[in-house]
Amino acid sequence: MQDSFEGRTAVVTGASRGIGLAVARHWHEQGGNVVLTARTAEAAEAAAATLGERALGFGAHVTNQDRAQACLETTLERFGRIDLLVNNAGTNPAFGPVVEQDHGRFAKLMDVNLWGPVLWTSLAWRLWMRDNGGAVVNVASLGGLAVSPDLGLYHVSKAALIHLTRQLALELAPGVRVNAVAPGVVRTRLAEALWKENEADVNAVTPLGRIGEPLDVAELVVFLASRSASWITGETVLVDGGQLLTGSAVEPVGA
């Protein structure tokens, strides 16, 4: 990649580990400033400390508007600009058939996976991007393009995030590009039930022969934020080693 990120600033939600941390690290390694969030300041700051200079940790539950606003204002005070927002924080409290869920799990899932991206994008727009431009990348999922027996509500939230990406791309053009990535099974804590006990099975249904690593997703996110992607908006790009091609939904161990 020819782009330089020196002097440019990214905010990555849910970056204390996993895909978010890999995105933050990859951006930072190429010279960018980065703000990493997590639910607690301790976790966010610990992750930022592993990157060093030009990295700031900030505690903000992704649905907390006051913390979101404070995070983005702090980003502007510290680094002077917000070039990239990565809506990465996500959760899945709702395993099992959709008809067996309750409102508590539904509300938490939709709040974190959908309202979070709406909230952070709206604030980034108002505070900086409306006047100065920028890019937003949402972390959706292969599941947003497929159905499977036990991850239904999570997949509904990611399908909605893919649609939200298209909607926001229309609303925020021409100054702000909004895209999404749709990872398959990636080696992180959130997805442990999908791979930890059966990595060989995951590899077997993956045409490219291996589980995803957080860096596989991070490289795509950073590409979508780069000038090389300057005519791409509203798009969702699969990064799944071909898992969707096999048509076999990846299910939690024991399902």
Active site residue 135: no
Instruction: List, in sequence order, the alpha helices (H) in 80-132.
Output: 103-110, 116-124, 130-132
Q: Of 103 and 189, which has the nearer Cβ to ligand NAP?
A: 189
Q: Of 46 and 133, which has the nearer Cβ to ligand NAP?
A: 46
How far is the C-alpha of 146 from the C-alpha of 165, rounded, in Å? Answer: 17
Sole binder of ligand NAP in the list 12, 94, 186, 229 (CB under 6 A): 186
- Catalytically annotated residue among 5, 27, 125, 154: 154
- Smallest separation (angstroms) from ligand NAP to the CB of 187: 7
Give the distance between the most distant pair of CA atoms in the chain. 50
Asked if 163 interacts with ligand NAP (CB under 6 A), we say: no
In this structure, what DSSP letter does residue 131 have?
H
The pairing of strands 33-38 and 55-59 is parallel
Sketch the per residue contact string, 85 through 114, with ligand NAP: x for CB under 6 A, - otherwise: ---xxxx--------------------x--
Sole binder of ligand NAP in the list 34, 38, 68, 135 (CB under 6 A): 38
- Look up residue 240 and give its two tokens: 């799944």
Q: Of 35 and 43, which has the nearer Cβ to ligand NAP?
A: 43
How far is the C-alpha of 95 from the C-alpha of 44, rounded, in Å? Answer: 27
How far is the C-alpha of 143 from the C-alpha of 158, rounded, in Å? Answer: 7
String of b and e for 134-170 (b: at least 16 CB within 10 Å)? Answer: bbbbbbbbbbbbbebebbbbbbbbbbbbbebbbebbe
Binding to ligand NAP (CB under 6 A) within 190-209 occurs at 190-191
Q: Of 3 and 193, which has the nearer Cβ to ligand NAP?
A: 193
Sketch the per residue contact string, 44 through 63, with ligand NAP: x for CB under 6 A, - otherwise: -----------------xx-
Q: Which residues are catalytic?
A: 154
> What residues make contact with ligand NAP under the rule CB under 6 A?
13-20, 37-39, 43, 61-62, 88-91, 112, 139, 141, 183, 185-186, 188-191
